[in-house]
């Protein structure tokens, strides 16, 4: 049960095509976290993506990193927008993750123009990340985001600084929604030309929870939870040879995603994907 490896941009690291999204450990116990992390070894997942904002996730990863750090490319994120806040966030993440360096430090959810100006400006968070890189505490720097404007905002970010990676949503529904596919492919081409890694999220998003519907899974949106739809969605995303799929934040659906990636098939046809989308009622999780 292995998952293919791909070049993670200009980092020199061959990362598993599926990156473990450690938001899945947000509210989990240490024993559950250890069980899930052991599953990563079974599938040879060698890249973990966490964030300071993911509840107890960094705390849960820490004890495991003490014995397994060398096997993983370890990424985390900061929501802070000031130099002081970001510097403190980096030091706190290093402490919680029980490591002396972070492979990829990312500016988290940077899509608001006002926050963007602050983070990228004088005494902004980017300065703290660049300083941490010069000190060897951070090896590479990335930027992440959600929503319909993220691809366009990432282009603005790449004009400001040569980030080593970006992260943004990509799935069948989004690939057919208004101007998003144009913006996504535009940023994908820019990243390919500059050897910047592209991480994608929300591969198995189904849609928002309807009013009154019981929330069954951990994510704030309703995920796909059947093997067929997950297999088709994973096959479709990973058919893009230059992108990575960051797994969703739910420990119960994670095994289905890993199994799908280890059994990766041909790129599904547009008809297959449209039929699946109609059957499952795929919808926007970011509003209209």
CB 188 within 8 A of CB 170: no
What is the tally of structural domains in the chain?
1
Specify if 49 maps to a domain: yes
Is 288 a member of any domain? no
What pLDDT, on the 0 to 100 scale, is given for residue 174?
A: 98
Neighbours of 262 (CB within 10 A): 17
In-domain check, residue 179: yes
Segment 14-45, tens digit of pLDDT: 999 999 999 999 999 999 999 998 999 999 99
Which structural domain, as residue segments, surrounds residue 212?
Answer: 5-280
* pTM for this prediction: 0.98
pLDDT tens readout for residues 212-234 = 899 999 999 999 999 999 999 99
- Return the beta strands (E) in the chain as ranges: 5-7, 14-16, 18-21, 47-49, 73-78, 102-107, 138-144, 165-169, 197-201, 205-207, 222-223, 243-246
pLDDT tens readout for residues 191-215: 999 999 999 999 999 999 988 899 9
Task: List all residues 6 or more positions away from 165 whose beta carbon is below 8 Å from its beta carbon.
Answer: 8, 9, 11, 104, 106, 140, 142, 143, 196, 197, 198, 199
Residue 11's pLDDT is 98
286 occurs within a structural domain: no
CB distance 287 to 278 below 8 Å: no
Please tell me the predicted confidence (pLDDT) of residue 187. Answer: 98
Within-domain flag for 235: yes
pLDDT digits (tens, 9 = 90+) for 129-140: 999 999 999 999
* 287 lies in some domain: no
Provide the CATH number for the domain around residue 149.
3.20.20.100
Does the structure show a pLDDT above 90 at 250?
yes
pLDDT, residue 233, reads 98
- pLDDT-derived band at 71, boundaries 50, 70, 90: very high
The pLDDT value recorded for residue 1 is: 77
């Amino acid at each position: 049960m292995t998952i293919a490896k791909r070049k993670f941009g200009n980092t020199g690291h061959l990362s598993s095509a599926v990156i473990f999204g450690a938001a899945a450990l947000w509210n989990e116990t240490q024993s559950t976290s250890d069980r899930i992390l052991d599953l990563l070894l079974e599938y040879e997942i060698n890249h973990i993506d966490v964030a300071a904002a993911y509840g107890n996730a960094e705390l849960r990863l820490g004890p495991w990193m003490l014995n397994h750090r060398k096997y993983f490319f370890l990424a985390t994120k900061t929501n802070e927008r000031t130099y002081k806040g970001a510097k403190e966030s980096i030091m706190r993440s290093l402490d919680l993750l029980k490591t002396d360096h972070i492979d990829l430090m990312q500016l988290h959810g940077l899509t608001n123009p006002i926050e963007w100006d602050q983070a990228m400006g004088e005494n902004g968070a980017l300065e703290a990340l660049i300083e941490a890189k010069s000190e060897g505490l951070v090896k590479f720097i990335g930027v992440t985001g959600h929503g319909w404007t993220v691809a366009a905002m990432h282009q603005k970010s790449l004009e400001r600084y040569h980030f080593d990676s970006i992260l943004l949503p990509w799935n069948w529904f989004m690939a057919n929604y208004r101007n998003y596919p144009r913006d996504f492919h535009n940023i994908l081409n820019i990243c390919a030309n500059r050897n910047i890694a592209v991480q994608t999220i929300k591969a198995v998003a189904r849609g928002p929870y309807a009013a009154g519907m019981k929330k069954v899974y951990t994510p704030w949106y309703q995920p796909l939870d059947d093997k067929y739809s997950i297999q088709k969605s994973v096959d479709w995303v990973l058919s893009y040879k230059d992108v990575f799929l960051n797994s969703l934040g739910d420990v119960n659906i994670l095994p289905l995603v890993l199994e799908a990636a280890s059994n990766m098939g041909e790129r599904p046809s547009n008809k297959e994907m449209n039929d699946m989308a109609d059957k499952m009622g795929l919808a926007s999780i970011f509003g209209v």
